[in-house]
Structure 1
Amino acid sequence: MTWQVLNPYDQECIGSVELVDWPQIDRWLDEARALHEDRQARLPAHERIAILQRASVLMRERAETLAMQIAREGGKPIIDARVETSRAIQSVELCIHELFASGGREIPMDLTQAGAGRKAYTFREPIGPVVAISAFNHPLNLIAHQVGPAVATGCPVLVKPAKDTPLSCKSFVEILYEAGLNEDWCRFVPCSDEVAEKMVTDPRTAFFSFIGSARVGWMLRSKLAPGTRLALEHGGAAPVIVDDSVAHAKVIPPLLKGGFYHSGQVCVSVQRVFVPRAELPDFAAELAAGAEALTVGDPTNAETQCGPLIRPAEVDRVESWVDAAVQGGGRLAAGGKRTGSTLYQPTVLVDPPDDADVSRKEVFGPVVCIYGYDDVDAAITQANALPYAFQAAVFTDRMSWADYCVEALAASAVMVNDHTAFRVDWMPFAGRRQSGLGTGGIGYTMADMSEEKMVVVNAPSSVR
């Protein structure tokens, strides 16, 4: 069996990958466990560093090819695909940096009489075979965030890409091979969902890294073998609180970027914006004008700012959610129409009903909702009312107001005067509640994929 890879813009086939069956994965899991258990087979840090350094060089040499591949298989505008490629290269280099910065620590023993005469220190060991399942929306950098740390920490890794975007993953794995990594340390594993579940829940899997839907992630977590560690990265419905002290000109541009970047197909995309009710008409008109000015179309064109959704069914879903919100009393300020099988206009909805899907669920499409508020505490309560909590944002010229909102918002990170989708690859990145479990970011993932071991030495101070 094969996966046919379609360009989401025109639905043309641009490639295919052969699916891997369970007997092959079963052999690879045996191989991965044996590699981990054979301490003589483990790659020393200097070899891992050299492999990652060579991989970084190869990626830089092929940066434009990698970016175009992202645009063609994932629909991300080429201007943003180039940024993703640059970030993926930096992610690999961050793995190297973390290896240089990593190390153990001394544990003081003589704090009580019981520990006197002893010395203790820690060091880290690879956790074991890693199974990674990734999402389509950042097909190269997400893979770098999952596979790079596994290679860096010395863990064998099996990686299953998203069905829609396997080519970038395949390219990254092949670059690692070309850089000197033996294939038994990293396996490209496109496979059916049933086979993937069997691989994830196998007791030989020591660590499970998942980026995707909450429904699938939490389901797989419930089936893990005893002892398997994991990290889950899901999505949310990111809230933004706007103060009446801040000029709209400081708010509209970042909201346009954070809401319509990759046509909203980002787990921390701006979705729910709360503005003072007196400012709602003007604010909505300005955001709508900005949305209507965005260029929608072929992601390989340099002028395109919003590309297609990943597949036609996603446009059907977004269209139905927006239509239902309008029928329920929400006002359409911009967009609200499909312009092709996978193209949907950047859309601004004003005061959609609280029980509408666009208000309660992650849209994962080019839709930003604006709500008027009379009291900031009421806005914060509404922002916190969902079972998701990831990144949030506050726009204000008053630091005291920002501090108040930062403390009150249910979020793992709050951006002040920036959009919710801001991220650099070394910062902690984590969802609360149903939005995830564990912390992403290169250094944090490397810590997850390794285990600290402590040594306590009974070392009397005198040899007499």
Structure 2
Amino acid sequence: MNATTKGLFINGEWIVKDRTYPLYSPYRGALLANISKADTADVNVAIEGAYEAFQQMKEMPAHQRSAILYRVVELMRERKEELATIIAQEAGKPIKTARGEIDRTIVTYQFAAEEAKRIYGETIPMDAAPGGENRLGMTWREPLGVVAAITPFNFPFNLVAHKLGPAFAAGNTVVLKPANQTPLSALKMAEIFDEAGLPKGALQIVTGSGAEIGDPLVTDNRVKKVTFTGSAEVGKDIKAKAGLKKVTLELGSNSAVIVQPNVPLERVISRCVEGAFVYSGQVCISLQRIYVHEDIYEDFCKRFTEQSKTLKIGDPLDENTNISAMIHSKEIDRIETWVKEAEEGGAKVALGGSRQNTVFEPTILLDVNGKMKVACKEVFAPVVSIMPYKDLDEAIGFVNDSVYGLNVGVYSTNIDEAFYAARKIESGAIIINDIPTFRVDHMPYGGVKESGYGREGIKYAVEEMTELKFVSVKTFL
């Protein structure tokens, strides 16, 4: 494999294809590499290799699986700056934020290493039912087999870790299809896992067109589970085609926060600015809708706007950069259209609203109504809408008036109303006194409605990647 052409990783070998596509950096447009494009035959070989390697992974003792994952943690710690630079180059993520992703990824694999040793079953009191006397009952969890993992561009190391970590902890094998814009991070992890001692064939990586190789991955009968992070549209299609396979879908969102009166605005605003604009809003739980009580609305908007003006736009490799390139120019075209439509509908642009080459400025919209695309769809850009409300029930109604339900934040100094909101809001997670963008990697993570199906978070993902087996023994005493 030469320096400019990256191959597929199949059965522990690098396979360079004649068909490739050029990978450019989002910010400067420099050519980073040529990436091999897999075809259906390559997918078949990868699945077959993973299927054959499964027997070895299944029989591997838990302490050995754990040791491999701990070795991955060690190798990543040694190469943190190299890995963060890969993210900055291929994803356009500011280097400071990229380092934070690597730190989180290390923690994710560490949790997976720990979880490999505590995959428990339980005993069942068989005599609780008539006819169950003199019987023992127990459960244990067994790995599924081949897992197909399809990952997005926005967290190219950590979201891959949320697929690979629990899969290997449980004893599965994986065929990974990374996002077209961020294959280098996945291919680097292939090198690291290989060095860490993962059996050949346990990790297969196929790069290329999702339209061409997605269906073979999802529909093959040797694949026992599909785990996908991406758009709701694609997620629905995967679920329809997967048949009886297990499926985990992490899909879209338009995450909201409710800000009640009497909260410390200086602390709330700094977090909300971060939640709205980190990685140019290209985060599933990016803060998109801010509902502020009418008593503090004007003060909040003024202070939020002033703090947002301090964000620095620039090269992702610049240590001082807060906002850099969006992943594709077509995404800038899309969000420009949405902001313009909102303005034509009566919304006011308090800050930003324009592009600077490959960057879209941090944008604050006021006078937005819930029917505008910037409020009811997933923006996935550095655009946030701030809207007033009269009372908590009205704010909860605004939040719930959405096809999504992933994470929602509630700021309040009253614990009763905070828990009241937590009960009433339709969402996979309620984050009290913080932004919905908050996530640590062992918590259960997943949405309701069109935000997804199933849960991630290492312990919970292991459960989704194993099969529960029941065993009963009749005694002769």
TM-score w.r.t. the length of structure 1 is 0.96
Asked if 1:215 is matched to 2:233, the reply is: yes
Deviation of the 1:172 alpha carbon:
0.8
Q: Aligned AA for 1:173?
A: A
Partner residue, 1:254: 271
Residue 286 of structure 2 aligns with an amino acid whose one-letter code is S
Supply the AA of the counterpart residue of 1:5.
Answer: L
2:418 aligns with 402
1:145-294 pair list within 5 angstroms: 145-193=162-210, 194-224=212-242, 226-294=243-311
Q: Quick check: 1:55 aligned with 2:55?
A: no
2:371 to 355, 359, 364: 355
2:178 & 2:56 partners in 1: Cα distance? Answer: 29
Counterpart selection for 2:355 from 314, 338, 356:
338
Shift of 1:24: 2.0
Return the alpha-carbon distance in structure 1 between the equivalents of residues 408 and 233 of structure 2.
Answer: 22
1:266 Cα deviation (Å)? Answer: 0.5
Cα distance in structure 2, aligned partners of 1:171 and 1:105: 39
Matched residues in 2 for 1:112 and 1:446: separation?
30
Structure 2 residue ranges without an equivalent (≥5)? 1-18
* Alignment match, 2:334: 317
Task: Give the whole-Å Cα distance in 1 for the aligned partners of 2:462 and 2:127.
Answer: 31
Shift of 1:262: 0.7
Q: Which one-letter code corresponds to 2:434 in the other structure?
A: D
Of residues 449, 455, 461, the one that matches 1:433 is 449
Pair 1:136-2:130 in alignment:
no
Superposed CA deviations along residues 13-37 of structure 1, whole A, max 9, x for unmatched, are 112321222112212222333343x
Report how far residue 40 of structure 1 moved: 9.0
Residues of 2 paired with 1:179 and 1:375: CA distance?
55
Match of 1:388 in 2: 404
5+ residue gaps in structure 1? none
Correspondent of 1:70 among 69, 87, 100: 87
* 1:299 corresponds to 2:298: no
The alpha-carbon deviation at position 105 of structure 1 amounts to 1.2
The answer to whether the Cα contact below 8 Å between 2:291 and 2:387 also exists between their aligned partners in 1 is yes
Listed one character per residue, the Cα deviations across residues 339-384 of structure 1 (whole Å, up to 9, x for unaligned) are 11x2011111012132211011010000110111123222211111
Once residues 275 and 450 of structure 2 are traced to their aligned partners in structure 1, the CA distance between those partners, rounded to angstroms, is 21
Describe the superposition over 1:69-91 as per-residue Cα deviations: whole angstroms up to 9, x where unpaired. Answer: 11111111111111110111111
- In the alignment of these two chains, the number of paired residues is 458
Matched AA of 1:52: L
Give the percent of matched residue pairs that are identical in Structure 1 and Structure 2. 38
Deviation at 1:41, TM superposition (A): 7.1
**d(CA) in 2 for partners of 1:250, 1:310:** 30
Please give the alpha-carbon distance, in whole angstroms, between the structure 1 residues aligned to 2:313 and 2:279: 11
What residue number does 1:3 align with?
21
SS in 2 for 1:58: helix
Task: Give the secondary-structure state (helix, strand or coil) at the position aligned to 2:131.
Answer: helix
CA contact (8 A) 1:245 1:398 kept: no
Aligned partners of 1:292 and 1:335 also within 8 Å: no
Q: Among residues 381, 386, 393, which one is paired with 1:377 in the alignment?
A: 393
For residues 115-153 of structure 1, give each alpha carbon's deviation from its aligned partner in whole angstroms, at most 9, with x where no partner exists. 110011111111111000000000000111101211111
**RMSD after superposition:** 1.4
Amino acid aligned to 1:56: V
Any idea what SS the aligned residue of 1:206 has?
strand
Is contact 2:27–2:315 with CA below 8 Å preserved after alignment?
Answer: yes
Query: Does the C-alpha gap of structure 1 residues 41 and 221 become closer, same or farther in structure 2, counting only changes over 3 Å?
Result: closer
2:13 alignment counterpart: none
Asked if 2 retains the 8 angstrom alpha-carbon contact of 1:235 and 1:436, the reply is: yes
Work out whether 1:423 is the aligned partner of 2:423. no
State the Cα deviation string for residues 317-341 of structure 1 (Å, max 9, x = none): 111111111111111111111111x
Q: Among 407, 412, 430, which residue is 1:414 paired with?
A: 430
Greater CA deviation, 40-49 or 365-374?
40-49
Distance apart, 1:228 and its partner CA: 0.7
Judged with a 3 Å threshold, the aligned counterparts in structure 2 of structure 1 residues 89 and 39 are, in CA distance, closer, same or farther, namely closer
State the shift of 1:39 in Å: 6.8
Give the Cα–Cα distance (whole angstroms) in 2 for the partners of residues 278 and 58 of structure 1: 52
Deviation at 1:259, TM superposition (A): 0.8
TM superposition shift of 1:278: 3.6
